């Protein structure tokens, strides 16, 4: 059993939002994604998808895309991105999964999940740059609170596991990068350091060539996992 991750699937199987307008490498990406996923992932594995999953505007629009994900091998853990306009309350999401029999999908939101011997947590994040509006600052601080909520849940899981002699690693996911070249003083980074997080996987960035923003900052290793950056291939987390 293994743990994988891949962000920014940007599915639009209804045809409303063809992604090839963002570059030739997106042409026919769904078939490549399916092929590489089927090659890498087994039914007993877990894949975390940290945001920008579907271009749908509501659950009805997103249903074909979620059905596509459901049919892929493995358990899928979905997180919200900035383009996931279809994402309603967690109660509605759970009811939707049950109604459609999408039993290979789970949602990670303001909590944590123990999977494949690791504790998975995180949130969407938000832009963190030199020039930010007052509203951007408010959203960023709110996201820092959500990271804290998720990490508190992760801490509780770890303490319970410790009673059984286990010490699972906490792995954090974010849709947005936590640090950028423009600004590294992100309140979310402070939360991550407070809870001793060592690995963060993030997406959001496209057409980035072959170089991530940062690989390490203050003892935390950051890994870019946008689907186009990773050639639409799930990234294994060891």
What would the two tokens of residue 87 be? 């994402």
**According to the model, what pLDDT value does residue 213 have?**
67
What would the two tokens of residue 235 be? 């990234």
> In whole angstroms, what is the distance from residue 51 CA to residue 7 CA?
6
**According to the model, what pLDDT value does residue 212 have?**
64
> In whole angstroms, what is the distance from residue 224 CA to residue 235 CA?
10
> In whole angstroms, what is the distance from residue 144 CA to residue 122 CA?
10
> In whole angstroms, what is the distance from residue 188 CA to residue 199 CA?
14
Pairing of strands 75-79, 105-107: parallel
Mapped onto helix, strand or coil, the DSSP state of residue 100 is: helix
**According to the model, what pLDDT value does residue 182 have?**
67
Mean pLDDT per segment of 10 residues, for the chain of length 238 residues? Answer: 96 77 79 97 98 95 96 98 95 96 97 98 90 90 97 97 96 93 82 97 84 80 94 95
DSSP summary character for residue 166: -
Mapped onto helix, strand or coil, the DSSP state of residue 105 is: strand
> In whole angstroms, what is the distance from residue 71 CA to residue 218 CA?
39
Cβ atoms of 132 and 142 closer than 8 Å: no
- Top CATH class of 3-237 equals alpha beta
DSSP summary character for residue 164: T
CB atoms within 10 A of CB 180: 16
First to last CA, the chain: 11
- What's the angle, vertex CA 119, arms to CA 114 and CA 120, rounded to 5? 95
- What's the angle, vertex CA 191, arms to CA 202 and CA 179, rounded to 5? 40
Residues 6+ apart with CB under 8 A from 125: 143, 147, 174, 175, 176, 177, 178, 188, 202
**According to the model, what pLDDT value does residue 27 have?**
84
Number of H helices, E strands in the chain: 5, 11
**According to the model, what pLDDT value does residue 207 have?**
78
């Amino acid at each position: 059993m293994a743990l994988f991750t891949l962000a920014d699937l940007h599915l639009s199987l209804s045809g409303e939002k063809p992604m090839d307008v963002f570059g030739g490498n997106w042409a026919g990406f769904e078939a490549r994604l399916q092929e590489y996923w089927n090659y890498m992932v087994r039914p007993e594995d877990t894949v975390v998808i940290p945001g920008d999953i579907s271009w749908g505007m509501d659950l009805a629009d997103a249903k074909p895309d979620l059905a596509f994900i459901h049919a892929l091998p493995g358990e899928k853990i979905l997180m919200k991105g900035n383009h996931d306009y279809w994402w309603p309350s967690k109660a509605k999401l759970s009811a939707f999964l049950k109604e459609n029999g999408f039993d290979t999908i789970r949602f990670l939101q303001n909590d944590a999940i123990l999977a494949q011997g690791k504790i998975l947590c995180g949130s969407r994040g938000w832009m963190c740059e030199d020039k930010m509006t007052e509203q951007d600052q408010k959203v960023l601080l709110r996201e820092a609170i959500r990271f804290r909520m998720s990490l508190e849940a992760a801490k509780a899981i770890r303490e319970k596991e410790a009673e059984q002699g286990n010490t699972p690693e906490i792995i954090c996911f974010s849709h947005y990068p936590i640090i950028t070249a423009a600004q590294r003083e992100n309140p979310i980074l402070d939360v991550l350091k407070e809870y001793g997080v060592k690995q963060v996987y993030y997406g959001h960035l496209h057409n980035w060539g072959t170089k991530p923003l940062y690989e390490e900052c203050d003892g935390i290793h950051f890994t870019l996992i946008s689907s186009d950056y990773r050639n639409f291939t799930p990234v294994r987390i060891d």
